[in-house]
Amino acid sequence: MSASASAPDITLSSFFDNWELFRTSTLAGTVAGALLGWLGVYVVLRRMVFLSAALSQAAGLGVALAFFAQIHWGLTGLLASPTLGAAGATLLTTLLLMGGGARGVRRDALLGMAWLLGSAGTLAIGTRIAQEVQDIQSILFGSAVAVLDEDFHQVLALAGVLAALHLWWRRGFLAASFDPEGARVRGLPVFGLDLTLLATMAIAISLCTRVLGALPVFAFSVLPAMAAVRMSPNVNVALGISAVFGAASGFGGYVLAYRYELPVGASQTLLAAALVLVASMVRRLLARVFR
C-alpha cells in the first residue's frame, strides 16, 4: 500500500495541495527521524547498530502481543495498550542484553537472538490475530500511510522530553560513551548515564516502531548517523547533522512514496541510504581537494 493510493494526480504539487491529508503522517516521520537521527550517533559510534535492530523487532513483538491480548484474552485499556506493549518489550530486552553481557555472554550473540526472537515471534503471533494482519505488516515494514493525531502528539511530546534531556546531559552522555575511564576519574556516574542513555533509546524506538514500523525506525537510528559522521569534524556537530538528515529522510521519504507510489517505510529507508552515499562521496571529494 502506498502513500498515493487515494490520489489520482500523482505530482508533488498535488501532495502539497492535499497537505491536510498527509500532514500528521509526514510530520510524525519527520519528528521521529530527527529524534532517532540524534540518538543514532551513539548507536553508530558505539557500534550498537544491531542493538537498534533488536529493539525495533522487540517493539514489534510487544505490539503484536498487545493485539493478541485484546483478541484472545479480552484485555482492554492500559493492560492491552500497544504503546505499553512496545515499551515493555524494548525495556525488558535492554535489561536482558545488559545483564547477559555482564555475565560474560557474547553481546553479539544476545543481539542476534533478540532480533530473531522478535522477528519470528511477531510473525508467529500474526497468524493468530488475522484481524490485525495489516497492522502487523505495518509494524514490520513501515507501510502505514496514516498516523493518528494522538500518535503524532505522543511522538512529538516524547521527542521534546528526550531532546531536553539529551541537551541537558549531553556532556555526561558523551563522556560515558566515548571516555568512560576519564568520566570515572571526574566522578561521573558512568553506569547511571549509560543506563539512562540506553533507556531513552529503548523508549524512543518502542514508540516510533509502534507508530511507523520497524523498518524505518531501524533506518532512522542508523543511516542518518552514518552519513553525519562521515561529514562531521566532531561528535557534537554529528549529532546536529544527523538529526537534520533524519528529519529530511522522514519528510522526503513520505513525499517520494506519494510521488512514485512506493511503500512509505521503504522510501524513507532508501532516501536515508542515499544520504550515506552522498556523504561518502562528499568526504572523498573534500579529502582529494584538501590533501
Residue 126 has pLDDT above 80, yes or no: no
Q: What percent of the chain has pLDDT over 90?
A: 44
> What are the pLDDT digits (tens) for 242-264?
999 999 999 999 999 888 888 88
Q: Which residue carries 524505518 as its cell?
A: 216
Are residues 126 and 136 in contact, defined by beta-carbon separation less than 8 angstroms? yes
H, E, C per residue of 83-121? HHHHHHHHHHHHHHHHHHHHCCCCHHHHHHHHHHHHHHH
Confidence band, pLDDT 50/70/90 cuts, at residue 54: confident
Burial of 285 (0-12, 13-18, 19+ CB in 10 A): exposed
In which band, very low, low, confident or very high, does the pLDDT at 130 lie, cut at 50, 70 and 90? Answer: low
Evaluate if residue 20 carries a pLDDT over 70: yes
C-alpha grid cell, residue 242: 544527523
Band (143; pLDDT cuts 50, 70, 90): low
Q: Which of 102-111, 145-154, 160-169, 177-186 has the lowest mean pLDDT?
A: 102-111
Average pLDDT score over residue span 81-93: 85
The vertex-267 CA angle with 138 and 14, nearest 5°, equals 100
What pLDDT, on a 0 to 100 scale, did the predictor assign at position 136?
61
Specify the DSSP element, H or E, that contains 239. helix 235-260
pTM of the full structure: 0.83
d(CA 287, CA 284): 5
Q: Which of 139 and 96 is assigned the larger pLDDT?
A: 96
Q: Which residues are CB-contacts of 92 (< 8 A; sequence separation ≥ 6)?
A: 58
Cα 177 from chain centroid?
20
* pLDDT of 288 over the 60 cut: yes
| Whether pLDDT at 201 is above 80 | yes
Query: What pLDDT was estimated at residue 139?
Result: 61
12-285, CATH topology level = ABC transporter involved in vitamin B12 uptake, BtuC (1.10.3470)
Supply the DSSP symbol for 213. Answer: -
- Domain map of the chain by residue range? 12-285
Task: Please name the residue that has the C-alpha cell 521519504.
Answer: 253
pLDDT over 70 for what percent of the chain? 88
Query: Which residues, at least 6 apart from 79, have a Cβ–Cβ distance to it below 8 Å?
Result: 69
The predicted pLDDT at position 258 comes to 87
3-state SS assignment for residue 189 = coil
Q: For residue 141, what pLDDT band results from cuts at 50, 70 and 90?
A: low
Residues 207 and 134 sit within 8 Å (Cβ to Cβ): no
* pLDDT, position 145: 63
| Beta carbons of 62 and 85 less than 8 angstroms apart | yes
Looking at residue 172, what is its pLDDT?
Answer: 95
Instruction: Check if the beta carbon of residue 33 is closer than 8 Å to that of residue 93.
Output: no
